[in-house]
Amino acid sequence: MMKNQLKQFLIAGAVLAVLAALFFGWRSWYYRPQTLADILPLSPEDIEACDVQMDYSDRENALCFDLTTGQFHELLDLLSSTTYQVPGKNIGIPEDTVQITLDPHARVFFHSGGRHMELILPGNLILVNPLAFPGKSRTYLPDGNQEFQQEVIAFLESCQNGA
């Protein structure tokens, strides 16, 4: 009888160990750093056009402009220069807490055929929104967080001023 109990205890322990390993393996995969190509619903190579909306707190209307092909490629290079991570309690930011902390903040629209998506840079997180699928947006924390987003915003302002 004692051997049966020990055997059951060992089996239960092994099952718990496997479940714990699966959970922590999934968690490590889910919160892993990702590239720009990983987080976009459109392949960067397939994007045909890009336009930008800059929102300023002291202006009634946003500034909207298209990026040239060269500017678009520079923007992709800049956005590809970092990694992105799903936010969560493990890094101190809940996934659904997007706050506008930059002025201006930007919305970048990517177009590929009949597919469209937007990348919102409000300051604390980046929001990837596939416009064809409402409710399927995802938030990411870029490496460099707000400083990185400020760099992207400065680049976009230079594109608008140079246009």
Question: pLDDT digit string (tens) for 10-24?
Answer: 787 777 777 766 766
Whether residues 132 and 118 share a domain: the answer is: yes
Give me the pLDDT at residue 111, please: 92
Residues 103 and 127 in one domain: yes
Q: Say which CATH number the domain at 97 has.
A: 3.30.1490
The structural domain count of the chain equals 2
Q: Are residues 78 and 135 in the same domain?
A: yes
- Residues 4, 66: one domain? no
- The residue ranges of DSSP E strands in the chain, in sequence order, are 49-55, 63-66, 84-85, 105-112, 115-121, 126-130, 138-142
Query: What's the sign of the alpha-carbon dihedral 35, 134, 127, 31?
Result: negative
CB 58 within 8 A of CB 65: no
Q: Which domain holds residue 127?
A: 34-162
User: Tokens 């992207």 appear where?
Assistant: 152
100 shares its domain with 144? yes
88 and 22 in one domain?
no
CA 158 vs. chain centroid, Å, equals: 23
Rounded Cα–Cα distance for residues 110 and 119 (Å): 8
Residues 108/127, Cβ–Cβ less than 8 Å: no
Same domain (yes/no): 3, 82 = no
Give yes or no: residues 45 and 119 share one domain: yes
In the chain, the percentage of residues whose pLDDT exceeds 70 is: 82
Residue 53: is its pLDDT beyond 80? yes
Which one, of 82, 50, 87, lies nearest residue 163 by Cα?
50
* Domain shared by 26 and 42, yes or no: no
pLDDT per position as a tens digit, 108-129: 999 998 889 999 998 878 889 8
What letter would DSSP give residue 125? S
